[in-house]
Structure 1
Amino acid sequence: MNIWSVLLAIIFPPLSVLDKGCGSVIIVFILWICGWVPGTIAALVIVNNPDRQ
């Protein structure tokens, strides 16, 4: 977990999961369009997932 990734997940969630794959970016972008809170929560979960490198 990187502090910059967490801050980026709070400010602009789709950009923070860019290195996690296309599927994650699309899901977070759709959730972010629906509302800031769902997109931010999804991005934080993806960024802080230790199983996914």
Structure 2
Amino acid sequence: MMKEGTANFVDILLAILLPPLGVFLKYGCHVEFWICLLLTILGYLPGVIYAIYAITK
């Protein structure tokens, strides 16, 4: 069983390819998803960085 703070390869890959989707699959439609969506709209790289941070924290 994985700890809550760990992420597997698929989670990280989704965070890189489609950042809001990766965050949505982990948190649902909560504030983390909306932050990631906004950052991705403003710039792809900030969205990726936040998604990886949110998934691995």
TM-score w.r.t. length of structure 2: 0.81
Which amino acid is the alignment partner of residue 27 of structure 2?
K
Provide Cα deviations, 1:5-36, integer angstroms capped at 9, x if missing partner: 00000000000011224101000000000000
Query: Please, which runs of 5 or more residues in structure 1 have no aligned partner?
Result: none
The 1-side partners of 2:32 and 2:49 are apart by 13
TM-score, with length taken from structure 1: 0.87
Number of residue pairs the alignment of both structures matches: 49
Spell out structure 1 runs of 4+ moving beyond 2 A: none
Determine which structure has more spread, i.e. the larger CA radius of gyration. Answer: 2
Q: Percent identity?
A: 37
Following superposition, the deviation at residue 41 of structure 1 comes to 0.1
Where does the alignment leave 5 or more consecutive residues of structure 2 unmatched? 1-6
Please provide the CA RMSD for this pair. Answer: 0.8
| Correspondence list, 1:21-40, <5 A | 21=28, 22-40=30-48
C-alpha separation in 1, matches of 2:16 and 2:32 = 16
